[in-house]
Structure 1
Amino acid sequence: MKTVTKSILFGMSLSLCLNMYSFGQEEFLSPIGPNNEPQHTGKFEPNWESLSQYNTPEWFRDAKFGIWAHWGPQCQPGQGDWYARNMYDEGSKTYNWHVDNYGHPSEAGFMEVIRSWKAERWDPEKLVALYKKAGAQYFFAMANHHDNLDLWDSEHHEWNSVSVGPKRNIILEWANAAKANKLPLGLSVHSAHAWRWYESSQLADENGPFKGVPYDGNLKKEDGKGKWWEGLDPQNLYAQNHKLSEGSEDINKIHSQWDWENGAEVPSVEYSENFYNRSIDLINKFNPDLLYFDDTGLPLYPISDAGLKIAAHFYNSNMANNDGKLEAVLFGKILSESQKEALVWDVERGAPAELQQKPWQTCTCIGNWHYSEDVYNQDRYKSANDVIHMLVDVVSKNGNLLLNVPIKGDGSIDDKEIQIVENIGKWMEINKESIFSTRPWEVFGEGPSVEIKNPINAQGFNEGKMKFTEKDIRFNQKGKLLYATILGLPSETVQIKSLGSRASGFGKIKKVELLGSSEKVKWKISDNMLSIEPPADFPNDIALVYKIQRK
């Protein structure tokens, strides 16, 4: 394939770029030089063609359900998502709250939020044990967010949780808790976008007494003399030693520039190399089983080869740690079909409408990604019913569910969240055999929701636009067993049309059981359907699972 030149690259749409970049040699605006963290060499090389040798490990296909601690300094204010960006949006709710509680962002920027974050009630082993009891088969921790604070003893970034804030090695403690609970460890990395995401910290108020006074994203190391952050360089946190992207004064403009297009200021080589070195350091220190990037394809792609090199290093080092067998899982968003050969597709807050041939994952949250007091006070958490219905739907389509339970800044979860997690666990205790180690059936489901058009938007974002009912059924299988899950409590005879004697490739049915119930199931088969009478007593109030055995 021909090399794509720099001048052509930014004249093309992102989708075209992704298609052209499927395989072959590429030219990058910010290539990673040789004098950085060394690559672990092996089977995989840093290009899409080599990475496409990847096969999803069976352990991940069996696991189905993980819980995520999407936790960092932006949880400290309790004001929800993207705090470190939105606090610089003059007149916004977040800005006003920050001024009232910390001060004006020219004098008290996000650095002060980091300083106030102490994690004083955090007990990682207790939390991970709770998640495991709820049925989690792997655990994820956030290693950094767009706020650019590394949550470990980072070798390449002075702004880390060991040197500031809680002054604890957050990732090490999470890793130890996962190990103690015998759960695979996942780490999520989001900081590739800090360059563009933090541009709001370069701005200034347009009105009022601070009109024209620059926010603290303009501070330099020398400005810290005599202050608590003396010796630290704010530019290493905010990464704002560059001109603003086009339209940066519009807080929402970033969404159209997420993939370094439409007038986005392109990250420098130094920025890309720093991201690369930090990510390699993270992998080398903690040997995660799963690695999640909040990026289209791979981080900094297509302007840099950083993501490709990190991916190859991750796969090769994982093989070296597993006697030559690849057990790693690496996620990417908005993947082309060829990229799905190299990575596991992650869908944020949503699910595809159809059964997928390759394993995939949806990531979602019971509330906001970062802890929000408003969500708690207004009772806006997803219920255990919502989570289980989503899990069953996702598993029926060959997917896994990664669920974030928001953590307060102090490291605790609230009483409502505890109840939700415990209720998930109660359903799992009865019905887990219908989830873990299963595989999709010939059809994923039937019922009204199957007929509804609910397309994915960008990364996903199509959850909650339809409600499952007792008429919706989802299937998955294990050997000679088929599990049919009713997404509700049936008030009348359950009619499973996919299991009529003429319609089904399942074979003749030998036995039908209801998980969690000793009551004999009343059922009959006809040409057009399998009919099942509801039980006298429901074993749970979320979703009934019928275990169907063929002869």
Structure 2
Amino acid sequence: MAAKQFEPTLASLLDYECPTWFRDAKFGIYIHWGAYSVAERAEWYVRHMYMEGHPDYVHHCKTYGHPSEFGYKDFIPLWKAENWDPDAVVALFKRAGAKYFTPCAIHHDNFDLWNSRHHRWNSANMGPKKDITGLWREATLEQGLRFGVTTHLARSYSWMNTSKGADKSGPRRGVPYDGADPEYRDFYHEPHPDTDRRQPSNAPESWRRQWAARIKDLIDNYHPDHLYFDGAIPFRGQDYGQTGMEILAHLYNDSMAQHDGRQEAVMCIKRGGGTHGVYVDGVATLDMERHRADEILADPWQTDTSIGPWGYRAGAAYRPVQELVHELVDIVSKNGNVLLNVPPKADGSLDGETVARLEGIGDWLAVNGEAIYGTRPWLTHAEGNVRFTRKAGTLYVTALEWPEAGGTLGIRSLAHGEGISPIAEVTLLGGDGTLRWGQDQDMLRLVIPETLPSAHAFSFRVEFATP
């Protein structure tokens, strides 16, 4: 009997269940890469370059010229991706320990990074002249990772509307920016007054239909197992999420067609207080941008975050490996996943600082991944600087900070008593000797060995006498 199809209704979409592969994966990689990377000032440059007085506007005028003469469209021929090697990049992501890769397929800039059927402004037709999403997908599947895409298109209609303005002072006062030119209306959108930096306050039907057609095209051609809207369900206003629900149903049904009737797709949405669309619990998986839950959540969830800026910014400071590892450990202990963004340069290469962080995370996961992958939350997620996860009858204890060698780490949550069985064995993951430990009615005491097997955080496997 054929699997029941999803319908674009709340009643039907509430049948969504987060797939097991996602719950087991825990760690994915994400990228922001596009024509905006040429300017090396991150992805919001596209909006800010048209805002008189903004530092990006000042930089743009000095470096490229006034936006009436050199607009965002003029970056597209400069984006050549000449050093892009998707196979090598995805191999590095696998080396970093990622289990899924979810590149940005379309940002707010309205430039599709695939061979789009509905939009001439795309990477197969212009700029790199490559099906970026298709080549990413091939490389990802070759490495045995799950493939996803993010689409930030919904807010483009209002977000890019700064391109139709003009200076209010100075020698170019009143001269329209290039977005006002009718020749480029299909890129910069039709004239309208909404300049909201979030989703348009009340998107017209023409934009809702175009958005849906392009996202369906993306799903039909690349069959993602992971999709993220960078918002809630489009669109807010009179649509009240109906258009977005069509896409959710389409994604889930496509997934069942690709996986012998199993729904394997993960749809991630943000809450966003209404400005990002319509949020409904239970129809998708919750995403928190650069934020995390304070406690264990019953349902799986995801944090999307970055090593630094989302898009490449020359000279940007990146977060240290230890901070990234601690974030991963904490989020996993609360039933979450981490989708970590790294920003490629315009030419498709990753800078040395990015590579170092990915390799550092990979080194840590190579030793401690048993305490991360395939785990579920324990009774509590934390005690001080210790985090807990479990896998069947095994408990994992990951310490974020340590006493000096020969000192003792005490864990009161594992005192022998009501609800806690006697412990049979404790092993330091990656350790090369017998660990000294003891359990009594006050706590579990671990004697810190002289040599630790990894940096940043350290994981123990705890086996109980009565699982």
Band the TM-score falls in, shorter-chain normalisation: over 0.9
Structure 1 SS opposite 2:30: strand
Deviation at 1:302, TM superposition (A): 4.8
> Which of 281, 292, 297 lines up with 1:351 in the alignment?
292
Q: What residue number does 2:428 align with?
A: 514
Q: Does 1:364 align with 2:339?
A: no
Query: SS state of the match for residue 215, structure 2?
Result: helix
Counterpart in 2 of 1:430? 367
Distance 1:412 1:54 in 2: 37
**8 Å contact 1:102–1:112 — kept in the other structure?**
no
Amino acid across the alignment from 1:106: S
- Which amino acid in the other structure matches residue 191 of structure 2? N
- How big is each residue's C-alpha offset from its partner over 1:351-377, in whole Å with a ceiling of 9 and x where there is no partner? 0101000000000000100001130xx
Structure 1 length-normalised TM:
0.80
Give the equivalent residue in structure 1 for 2:456. Answer: 542
DSSP 3-state at the match of 2:50: coil
Measure the CA separation in 1 of the matches of 2:168 and 2:336: 47
Please state if 1:413 is matched with 2:350: yes
1:320 corresponding residue in structure 2 = 257
Using the alignment, how far apart are the partners of 2:111 and 2:199 within structure 1? 21
Matched with 1:267 is 203
| C-alpha displacement of 1:43 | 1.9
Matches within 5 A, 1:165-244: 165-221=127-183, 234-242=184-192, 244=193
- Deviation of 1:179 (Å): 1.3
**Structure 2 partner of 1:526:** 440
Structure-2 separation of matches of 1:196 and 1:550: 57
Give the drift of 1:259: 4.8
Contact 1:146 1:197 (C-alpha < 8 Å) held by counterparts: yes
Q: Does 1:138 align with 2:100?
A: yes
1:110 and 1:419, CA in 2 relative to 1: closer, same or farther beyond 3 A? same
Which residue of structure 2 lines up, in the alignment, with residue 309 of structure 1?
Answer: 246
3-state SS of paired residue (2:281): helix
Gaps of 5+ in 1: 1-40, 222-233, 249-253, 448-471
Farther-moved stretch of structure 1 (116-125 vs 494-503): 494-503
Q: Shift of residue 335 of structure 1?
A: 7.5
Task: Give the deviation of 1:69 after TM superposition.
Answer: 2.0
Give the CA deviation at 1:240. Answer: 3.8
Q: 1:340 deviation in Å? A: 2.6
Give the drift of 1:201.
Answer: 0.9
CA shift, 1:303, in A, is: 3.6
Q: Which residue number in structure 2 is paired with residue 122 of structure 1?
A: 84
- Structure 2 unmatched runs, 5+: none
Alpha-carbon distance between aligned partners in 1 of 2:224 and 2:72, rounded to the nearest angstrom: 29
- The aligned counterpart of 1:300 is 235
Deviation at 1:518, TM superposition (A): 1.3
SS at match of 2:230: strand
- Matched to 1:341, the amino acid is G
Verify the 8 A CA contact 1:366 1:381 in the aligned structure 2: yes
Paired residue type of 2:345:
K
Asked whether the equivalents of residues 441 and 475 of structure 1 are also in contact (C-alpha less than 8 Å), the reply is: yes
1:488 Cα offset (Å): 2.6
- In the aligned structure 2, how far is the partner of 1:95 from the partner of 1:351? 33
**Contact kept? 1:78, 1:371, Cα under 8 Å:** yes
Runs of 4+ in structure 1 deviating by more than 6 angstroms, as ranges, are: 335-338
User: Within 2, Cα distance between the matches of 1:530 and 1:303?
Assistant: 57
* Aligned residue number for residue 279 of structure 1: 215
**TM-score if structure 2 supplies the norm length?**
0.94
1:502 aligned onto 2:410 = no
Aligned residue pair count: 455
1:149-180: CA deviation from partner (whole Å, max 9, x where unpaired): 00001001111111111111100110110111
Preserved CA contact (<8 Å) 1:198 1:240 = no
Letter in 2 for 1:132: K
1:104 corresponds to 2:39: no
Q: Distance in 2 between matches of 1:283 and 1:62?
A: 23
Structure 1 residue 280 displacement after superposition: 0.4
AA at the equivalent of 2:416: S
**Conservation of the 8 A alpha-carbon contact between 2:269 and 2:279:** no
Partner Cα separation in structure 2 for residue 534 and residue 52 of structure 1 = 48
**For structure 1, which segment, 490-499 or 313-322, has the greater mean C-alpha deviation from structure 2 after superposition?**
490-499
Instruction: Tell me the secondary structure at the aligned position of residue 105 of structure 2.
Output: strand
Q: Structure 1 CA distance, aligned partners of 2:272 and 2:176?
A: 39
Match of 1:60 among 22, 25, 40: 22
CA distance in 2, matches of 1:308, 1:124: 32
SS in 1 for 2:251: helix
Cα RMSD, aligned residues only: 1.6
Asked whether the equivalents of residues 231 and 272 of structure 2 are also in contact (C-alpha less than 8 Å), the reply is: no
DSSP-derived class of the 1:542 partner = coil
Structure 1 vs Structure 2: percent identity of aligned residues?
41
- Secondary structure, counterpart of 1:91 in structure 2: coil
Tell me, what secondary structure is at the counterpart of 1:295?
coil
Residue number in structure 2 paired with 1:473: 386
The 3 A distance-change label for structure 1 pair 507 and 335 is farther
Where do residues 434-445 of structure 1 align in structure 2 (5 Å cutoff)?
Answer: 434-445=371-382
- 1: CA distance between counterparts of 2:67 and 2:383? 53
Would you say the 8 A contact 1:79–1:374 is kept in 2? no
The structural deviation recorded for 1:528 is 2.2
| Inter-partner Cα distance in structure 2 for 1:353 and 1:259 | 27
User: 1:187 is paired with a residue of what secondary structure?
Assistant: strand
Q: Are 2:333 and 1:396 equivalent residues in the alignment?
A: yes
Deviations 1:450-487 (A, max 9, x none): xxxxxxxxxxxxxxxxxxxxxx0100001221110001
